[in-house]
Structure 1
Amino acid sequence: MFQLKKNVVSEVGFEPTQVAVRHGSSGASPSFHSKYGTPLLIGGAAFCTTVWVLTSTGITWNLSPVGKVQPKPWKE
């Protein structure tokens, strides 16, 4: 098993544990999720709730005039 790890490290050039430690220590700056996570979650829930309420009211939302506008009779 040790020989396999040695071969992988020589192929890749670094150990995966070193990368994990390096990326894990970047706690000084806040991440995207900690900055914008809650407002995005609240906004998405509000949007979905609004769409659900508007579509469940039974209003016909077809605003297209196709099939509704009839031509006037021809005057001779």
Structure 2
Amino acid sequence: MFRFAKAALNLSGQGARQVRFSSTVPDFHSKYGTGLLVGGVGFCVSVWAYVITQTGITWNLSPVGKVQPKPWREDEE
């Protein structure tokens, strides 16, 4: 974005050529964006698959039917 703004302020023909030619050169996101996204998704999926299947964590997703009230105890006077 900085190169575009700098070239836009330069009103000569050289500035116009810089804007035109810099847009055809692939930037970091064009080169590596898809690979990084796929790699990040693969890493997260593999880590969570390991955590869910291998660590033995009891997840306790719903307390319905598991939480029981304590029996009522009346005070004897």
TM-score norm. by structure 2 comes to 0.47
TM-score (normalised: structure 1): 0.48
> Greater relative contact order: 1 or 2 (C-alpha under 8 angstroms, separation 6 or more)?
2
